[in-house]
Every structure is written in C-alpha cells, then in structure tokens.
Amino acid sequence: MKRNLIFKKMYSLKKFLSLKKFRAQGRNSFGKITVKHRGGSNLKKPKLKYIDFYRNL
C-alpha cells in the first residue's frame, strides 16, 4: 500500500511538472479562427518540462 502511494505521488508530480506550451492556433484576440488548417490534434502539441532548481515544491 505504501509503495502505491509513493508511485501515485511521483506520477502526479510528473504530470504537474510538464506543462503544455500555449499557441494561438490561428486565432485572433477575440478567439475567432483567422488562419485555416491550424489546431486540432493533441499529439502534435509540445510539452515543456518545468525544472525546479530550488526544490521548493
């Protein structure tokens, strides 16, 4: 049981430290699509890794 809790914490921390990079995806400031053939798949979007150099999490 203790081991499962440790892995669960590690997994949630890993998800917390990886962030999606925001892109406009062909939308203007009002949120309307202005450029064709942009956006869509979740697989193409890069994820950034947040590195905590100070270990204060």
Domain range spanning residue 34?
2-49
Q: What is the pLDDT of residue 32?
A: 84
Domains held by the chain: number? 1
Q: What is the pLDDT of residue 28?
A: 81
C-alpha distance from residue 19 to each of 36, 37, 49, 54 (Å): 26, 24, 6, 18
> Would you say residue 7 lies in a domain?
yes
Q: What is the pLDDT of residue 54?
A: 66
Work out the burial of residue 51: count CB atoms within 10 Å of its CB; fewer than 13 is exposed, 13-18 middle, 19 or more buried: exposed
- Residue entry with tokens 């193409």: 44
> Would you say residue 39 lies in a domain?
yes
At residue 7 the predicted structure's pLDDT band, cuts being 50, 70 and 90, is: low
> Would you say residue 17 lies in a domain?
yes
> Would you say residue 15 lies in a domain?
yes
> Would you say residue 57 lies in a domain?
no
pLDDT tens-place string over residues 14-57: 556 665 665 667 778 887 888 877 766 665 556 666 666 666 65
> Would you say residue 26 lies in a domain?
yes
Q: What is the pLDDT of residue 43?
A: 58
